[in-house]
Structure 1
Amino acid sequence: MQSFPTSGVPTPNAKVFVEGRYRKLTRDLPQTVFFCPDCKGHPRRRKGCERCEGFGKLSRDSVQELVGWVLGAAFKTRKNKFHGAGREDVNVRMLGEGRTFVVELLNPKCFEVDLAACEAEINRRNEGRLEVLGLHWTEKTRVAQIKEEQHAKEYRALVRAAAPLDPAKVAALVGPRLEIVQKTPSRVAHRRADMDRQRWIEVTKAELATPAEDGTPQFELVVRAQHGTYVKEAISGEGGSTRPSISELVGSASECVELDVLAILGSEGEAKPTPPPPPSFGAFLDD
Structure 2
Amino acid sequence: MLPLKEKDRPIVKKLLEAGCCARCVLRFCCLGVQSAYRQSYEDTARELCAFVSDKENNGSQDAAVLEQHKEDPPSKKMKMDAAETDVQSEGDSAVVATVMEEGDAEPADSDVCVVCLGVLQQFCDEISEVVKAKNYQFDTMVLSVSLPAQLSVREVSGYIFIVSQQNVFTRMAVVKALEKVSDEKFLKKFPCPPTRPASKCIAQDVQCLHVSIFVAGRYNKFSRTLPQTPWVIDGERRMESSVEELIAAPLLSSFRAEGFNFSSSGREDVDVRTLGNGRPFALELLNPHRAKFNKAEVRQLQETINQSSDKIRVRDLQIVSRDAMGHMKEGEEDKTKSYTALIWTQKAINKDDITFLEETKELKLAQKTPLRVLHRRPLAVRERVIHTMSTCFLDAHHFHLKLRTQAGTYIKEFVHGDFGRTKPNLCDLLKTETDILELDVESVDVDWPPSIPE
TM-score (norm 1): 0.78
Please point out which of 2, 5, 20 is paired with 2:217. Answer: 20
Structure 1 match to 2:246: 66
Structure 2 match to 1:187: 372
Q: State the SS of the aligned residue for 2:305.
A: helix
- Preserved CA contact (<8 Å) 2:280 2:448: no
Structure 2 match to 1:156: 340
Q: What stretches of structure 1 move > 4 A for 4+ residues in a row?
A: 272-275
- Quote the offset at 1:81 in angstroms: 0.9
Q: Does 1:117 align with 2:271?
A: no
- Preserved CA contact (<8 Å) 1:156 1:222: yes
Equivalent positions of 1:1-287 (< 5 A) are 11-34=208-231, 36-39=232-235, 52=236, 57-113=237-293, 114-127=297-310, 129-150=311-332, 151-175=335-359, 176-210=361-395, 217-265=397-445, 275-277=450-452
**Deviation digits for residues 39-78 of structure 1, max 9, x if unmatched?**
2xxxxxxxxxxxx3xxxx2211111100111101101135
Aligned residues: 241
Q: Structure 1 CA distance, aligned partners of 2:241 and 2:386?
A: 32
Q: State the SS of the aligned residue for 2:252.
A: helix
Larger RCO (alpha carbons 8 Å, 6+ apart):
1
Q: Which runs of 5+ in 1 are unaligned?
A: 1-9, 40-51, 212-216, 267-271, 279-287
**Deviation digits for residues 145-200 of structure 1, max 9, x if unmatched?**
31343221010000112222243221111122211111110011112221111111
Q: Structure 2 CA distance, aligned partners of 1:18 and 1:147?
A: 15
**Deviation digits for residues 93-117 of structure 1, max 9, x if unmatched?**
1111111111111111223442111
Distance 1:132 1:14, change over 3 A: same
Alignment identity in percent? 33
AA partner of residue 221 (structure 2)? K
Q: Structure 2 CA distance, aligned partners of 1:13 and 1:263?
A: 35
Q: Structure 2 CA distance, aligned partners of 1:64 and 1:273?
A: 18
Q: Greater CA radius of gyration, 1 or 2?
A: 2
Distance 1:99 1:11, change over 3 A: farther
- Quote the offset at 1:274 in angstroms: 10
AA partner of residue 328 (structure 2)? I
- Preserved CA contact (<8 Å) 2:274 2:442: yes
Q: Structure 1 CA distance, aligned partners of 2:330 and 2:450?
A: 18
Q: Structure 2 CA distance, aligned partners of 1:29 and 1:75?
A: 25
Q: Structure 1 CA distance, aligned partners of 2:257 and 2:215?
A: 14
- Quote the offset at 1:124 in angstroms: 1.1
AA partner of residue 247 (structure 1)? C
Distance 1:30 1:78, change over 3 A: farther
- Preserved CA contact (<8 Å) 2:316 2:451: no
**Deviation digits for residues 198-238 of structure 1, max 9, x if unmatched?**
11113431132247xxxxx1111000111111011011111
AA partner of residue 356 (structure 2)? A
Q: Which has the higher helix share?
A: 2
RMSD: 2.1
- Quote the offset at 1:13 in angstroms: 4.8
AA partner of residue 28 (structure 1)? T
AA partner of residue 318 (structure 2)? H
Q: Which has the higher strand share?
A: 1
Q: Structure 1 CA distance, aligned partners of 2:276 and 2:449?
A: 11
